[in-house]
Structure 1
């Protein structure tokens, strides 16, 4: 099964849901999902003051592309802050986070598996 086809629709019509993990200040809007592979597109929101230290450093078994729409986040491991308009492409196994934001941050993410 693949992701379902959608024509343009307001992303705000998708209700935000808490993310998995131990940080209740993180929420996501899953815009599209392949339930078989786990490939997904989502909007991730870090509420102001979010600290993802309880989730630790993350790695995934999938590719992840991230574009920061609003705000900023600081990668605590790297000691670097990333702001609106910045983009990342992470291959499987690439470490990232934990994150902290004072003002809040919203990202658009695409996750997929490549052969």
Structure 2
């Protein structure tokens, strides 16, 4: 099996708002829309929208046993682990085990995230 496919659609269009879902524990702050998913491998591509004032400090930093790639599409996001503002255009290819977050934003942020759960690596934990 492979990742789901979709002929062109605009995930940011107002009439597609019903496709977005709040992240558990971050209702009113952070929401996501899955753009494609491979049920066999768990690989997915999504957009994550951080609303102005959102913060994930209650969850602390995050680490995955798999690699992921992110691109800041718009806005800016503070990464507490790296003490850096990720601005529009910032890209990261995170190896397995890289600690990132917690995150916060003052103006809001839209992130493109591609994750590869089937490519497990050592987390160092």
1:1-115 to structure 2, matched below 5 A, reads 1-12=1-12, 13=16, 15-20=19-24, 22-24=25-27, 25-112=29-116, 113-114=118-119
Question: Which structure has greater strand proportion?
Answer: 1
**Could you tell me whether the CA contact under 8 Å between 2:52 and 2:108 is conserved in 1?**
yes
Per the normalisation by structure 1, the TM-score is 0.89
Per the normalisation by structure 2, the TM-score is 0.83
RMSD: 1.6
Alignment size in residue pairs:
114
Q: Which runs of 4+ in 1 moved over 4 A?
A: none
| Unmatched segments (≥5 aa) in structure 2 | 121-125
| Unmatched segments (≥5 aa) in structure 1 | none
